[in-house]
Amino acid sequence: MSELKIIDSDLTLRCENIFCIGKNYADHISEMGDNVLPEEPVVFLKPSSSLAVNPETVTIPSFAGRKISDDLQNEVELVVVIANDCNNVSVSDADDFILGYAVGIDFTLRDLQSQAKRQGLPWTLSKGFRSSAPVSEIVLKENISDVNNLNISLSVNGEIRQSANTSQMIFKIDYIIHYLSYIFGLKKGDVIFTGTPSGVSRLSAGDVVKAEIESVGILEVKVE
Ligand code: MG
C-alpha cells in the first residue's frame, strides 16, 4: 500500500520515494556507540512497499520458514511529505515544497543492521521490509506553527521509551530538503523520515507501540 492520506480529507497522494535520514539526533548517535556527528545528512532509502498508513500491526518477515530477525526496534520520527517536484532548492525556499507532516516509525531489524554495518553491506533488509515505514495521516503544514519545536515521543505498553524535541535535530528540515533536492531531486509524494532521538529498544510480540508528535498526531502499531 503506497497511498498517503491527508487528515480530515478524502484526498490521497501516491507515495513516491521514501528517504530516511540517519544520525540526526546526537543522543541517538551516542547510544549507538558512535561519537562522530555527521558533516552532511546520512541518507538511506526504503521501498514504497514499506509504507503503511495507520497499520494495525507490524511483523518481522519470515523467509524459508523462519523469521529473518529477532531484534525489531522502534524509531519514532517526524515525517515530511513533499508537495511538488523540485531540484536544487535553496534552504530559504525549502518550505515552499512541503505539503505537510506525519508521525512515522522507522522500524529497524537491529541485528541485521549491525551485521550489515560490520560486513560493509547495505541496510536495505534491516530497514526496508514490508510495513517498516508506518505513518499517520498527513497534517498540512499550515496547521503547524513551528516544526522545529515539537515534542516527539514513543511509548511501549504505556511506558515512555523516547522523549525529545524536534529542536534537537542536527540537520533541520529546510537543510534536508535543500540537500536531497540537489543530489536526488525530489518528487511530489516523496516522504522523508528525519531521524530518531535516543531510546530505541527491542520489541516483543504483543507490544503496543505508540508514537506521538505534538500537533501532528499519534500512530499506534502492535507488534505481531
Ligand atoms: Mg531512523
pLDDT tens string 203-223: 999 999 999 999 999 999 999
Q: Distance (Å, rounded) from C-alpha 104 to C-alpha 217? A: 10
Q: Is there a contact between 45 and 128 (Cβ–Cβ < 8 Å)?
A: yes
14 Cα–ligand 1 center, Å: 22
Element (H, E) at 104: strand 98-105
13 Cα–ligand 1 center, Å: 23
106 Cα–ligand 1 center, Å: 5
126 Cα–ligand 1 center, Å: 11
Quick one: which of 184, 147, 146, 214 has its CA closest to 18?
184
The grid cell for 107 is: 522500524
pLDDT tens per residue across span 126-161: 999 999 999 999 999 999 999 999 999 999 999 999
The pLDDT value recorded for residue 57 is: 98
CATH, residue 96? 3.90.850.10
Quote the domain boundaries for residue 89: 3-223
Q: Distance (Å, rounded) from C-alpha 151 to C-alpha 28? A: 16
pLDDT tens per residue across span 15-58: 999 999 999 999 999 999 998 999 999 999 999 999 999 999 99
43 Cα–ligand 1 center, Å: 10
> Total domain count for the chain?
1
196 Cα–ligand 1 center, Å: 5
64 Cα–ligand 1 center, Å: 28
The pLDDT value recorded for residue 35 is: 86
145 Cα–ligand 1 center, Å: 24
